[in-house]
Amino acid sequence: MNRQAVPNATMGLPGKPANGGSNPRFYDFDDGVTRLVKWHPSGHGAKACYNELITSRLGQLLGAPILRGGIIYVADDIIPPDHRNEGATAGFHFGIARMEGENFVPTQHYTEIENSSALPLAAVFLAWLAVGDQESHNQFLQRLEKRQEGSPAKTTKHFRLIDMGQVFGDCNWTAANVRTVHDNYRLPGHLSDKLTWAKIQPAIKTLQDLKEADIRDCFNDCPEEWNIAVPDREAGIGRVLGSRAKIEEIIRVGNPSIR
């Protein structure tokens, strides 16, 4: 992959997000965007960045409330020493635009969000990809400030899915261990409590209406340096196509309380 085809970092910034187990750090980029950089290779697993990339693409394809992210490049000569000491390296990584907000607290934030209609898509997305480590975290409350001429700024709050590294339940999945499609998925309890089958069915139809070619495209175009073997990529595609066909059963079996 040509580094000029992706945003290039121009400066490493101080500060980092709380609870960042992979030691992500903030950088300014040559397209004027400040991004949070997640490093490849990651201490979480060999496919962590690839998983973040394909889930961002698949989530956007579905219309799920997920952060938009993509491939970025960080040159060696701009990495601050403290970043380097925590695993930062030069090369292609995964980056998402910096956003204002905080970790999502269900008891507090469900009454505040303005995109509650997106919750069924979030649930279908998580169950489709069997994303692990979701029960008590990896959801975010994003604050967005909207300005209209002649009016004071208005802050809106949205539910977002973040930290999607555990696709198929594992940051290190292989062709061998994704061949079998999962038969159930337990949604975070706070999310399933907000859902009914009447709300979920339209989201399932949205998933089933996606074109196979578009789904396949989400797995392509990643840096050679990430070493994603062709058999692994094809196995991942097969897994998401197989779980799409079984998505209603996967959700019903794992979440019997939904009515």
Alpha carbon 184 to its chain centroid, in Å, reads: 20
CA torsion angle 24 29 32 36 (round to 10): -10
Per-residue confidence at 20, pLDDT binned at 50, 70, 90? low
Q: For the chain, what percent of residues have pLDDT higher than 90?
A: 87
Per-residue confidence at 6, pLDDT binned at 50, 70, 90? very high
80, two tokens: 């601050």
Q: Is the pLDDT of residue 154 over 90?
A: no
How many C-beta atoms lie closer than 10 Å to residue 151's C-beta?
8
Looking at residue 1, its pLDDT comes to: 86
Per-residue confidence at 180, pLDDT binned at 50, 70, 90? very high
Q: Calculate mean pLDDT across residues 19-34.
A: 90
Q: DSSP letter string over 35-64?
A: EEEE-SSBTTBTTHHHHHHHHHHHHHHHT-
Asked if 69 and 94 count as a contact pair (C-beta separation under 8 A), the reply is: yes
pTM of the model: 0.94
Best CA proximity match to 179, nearest among 240, 227, 251, 128: 240
Q: 104-127 burial, b for 16+ CB within 10 Å, e for fewer?
A: bebeebbeebeeeebbbbbbbbbb
Per-residue confidence at 42, pLDDT binned at 50, 70, 90? confident
Burial class of residue 71, CB neighbours in 10 A (0-12, 13-18, 19+): buried
Per-residue confidence at 175, pLDDT binned at 50, 70, 90? very high
Looking at residue 136, its pLDDT comes to: 76
The string of pLDDT tens digits covering residues 104-140 is 999 999 999 999 999 999 999 999 999 999 987 899 9
How many C-beta atoms lie closer than 10 Å to residue 160's C-beta?
22
Q: Which residues pair with 26 in a beta bridge?
A: 36
Looking at residue 135, its pLDDT comes to: 87
- CA atoms within a 13 Å half-sphere pointing along the CA-CB vector of 219: 19
Best CA proximity match to 22, nearest among 132, 158, 126, 166: 166
Asked if 219 and 173 count as a contact pair (C-beta separation under 8 A), the reply is: no
The string of pLDDT tens digits covering residues 43-87 is 788 899 999 999 999 999 999 999 999 999 999 999 999 999 988
Residue 94, amino acid: F
SS3 186: coil
